[in-house]
Amino acid sequence: MILEHVLVLSAFLFSIGIYGLVTSRNLVRALMCLELILNAVNLNFVTFSDFFDSRQLKGNIFSIFVIAIAAAEAAIGPAIVSSIYRNRKSIRINQSNLLNK
């Protein structure tokens, strides 16, 4: 694959993630957009690692660490969302004032 094609795909994924993160009012949708952003970053890490230095796996190893962070976020995020829903009966971002209690 050509470097420019992968970078355009990664920029597209990152843009969709940022747009969704900024405009979403739902916590679950915001977490999904955060996953899109992390996947776009991983795609850049792997692409640049393969394109510039294919003998060393620095980008790939760093990508594995980011995947581990994303997996932890995917495990803990819904637990936090369900806890907020149990207490507030809403998962909308603008309705959950956690400091007003």
Q: Quick one: pLDDT at residue 20?
A: 92
How many domains in the chain? Answer: 1
Q: Low-confidence residues of the chain, pLDDT below 50? A: none
pLDDT in tens, 19-41: 998 998 888 888 889 999 999 99
Beta-carbon count within 10 A of 47 CB: 19
Domain assignment of residue 9, yes or no: yes
Q: Quick one: pLDDT at residue 5?
A: 92
The identity of residue 24, as a single letter, is S
Mapped onto helix, strand or coil, the DSSP state of residue 53 is coil
Whole-structure pTM value: 0.78
Domain assignment of residue 101, yes or no: no
Domain assignment of residue 40, yes or no: yes
Q: Quick one: pLDDT at residue 24?
A: 83
> Which parts of 1-101 are beta strand (E)?
none
Q: Quick one: pLDDT at residue 61?
A: 85
Specify whether the CB–CB gap between 66 and 56 falls below 8 A: no
- Report how far apart, in Å, the C-alpha atoms of 35 and of each of 27, 40, 42, 100 are: 13, 9, 10, 29
CATH of the domain at 73: 1.10.287.3510
